[in-house]
Amino acid sequence: MLRSARHAKILEIISRKEIETQEELCSELNALNLVVTQATISRDIRDLHLFKVAGIEKKYRYAYINDGESEISPKMKGLFRDCVISIKSAKNLVVVKTLTGNGANAGAVVDKLNYNGVVGSVAGDDTLLIVCEDDDSAVLIVNKINEFMK
């Protein structure tokens, strides 16, 4: 199967079912007679920029932000709003505290917002660190994120 078709099938599967592990995703694809290895799934997850969010039935599940769209979906905005605990600036840095396991998810949203003045970001388990060009940019970014969350 072509990579693009496999990617489409992966996105279809994770949109209708909670998939927590690469092995589960392999099993789902194999059940559809799409023989894949865990290594292939690992590359596909990276290529598709999949990330994990809290699940309803399972602890975590794979999710996806459509890079082709310039705006963040209302669902993703809601997830971001629900996972952020606090946002504070310190000099040219912005620290976003999140619920456990959501630092990378918050980072994906902030990266997608593509704010001017952001040099880069680093995400941990429950923290996102945003490096800004200067102190004023950091204050502006905090205000923009707070406004985005309304």
- Whole domain around residue 18: which residue ranges? 3-63
Mean predicted confidence (pLDDT) in 3-31: 91
Is pLDDT at 70 greater than 50 in this prediction? no
d(CA 66, CA 112): 10
DSSP 36: -
Asked which of 26, 43, 63 is the last residue of a domain, the reply is 63
Highest mean pLDDT among 43-57, 94-108, 126-140: 126-140
Is pLDDT at 101 greater than 70 in this prediction? yes
Whether 34 maps to a domain, the answer reads: yes
Whether 112 maps to a domain, the answer reads: yes
Asked which of 39, 63, 87 is the last residue of a domain, the reply is 63
Report phi then psi at 125, rounded to 5: -65, -50
d(CA 106, CA 85): 11
Please tell me the total count of domains within the chain.
2
Residue that is written with structure tokens 């997608």 in the block = 112
Q: Are residues 144 and 115 in the same domain?
A: yes
d(CA 132, CA 140): 10
3-state secondary structure of 115: coil
Q: What is the pLDDT of residue 13?
A: 93
Q: Are residues 48 and 83 in the same domain?
A: no
Q: Which amino acid is at 123?
A: A
DSSP 50: -
Q: Where are the alpha helices (DSSP H) in the chain?
A: 3-16, 22-31, 38-48, 74-83, 103-113, 135-149
d(CA 9, CA 3): 10
Whether 69 maps to a domain, the answer reads: no
Q: What is the pLDDT of residue 71?
A: 59
Q: Write out pLDDT tens, residues 6-15.
A: 898 999 999 8
To the question of pTM greater than 0.75 for the whole model, the response is no
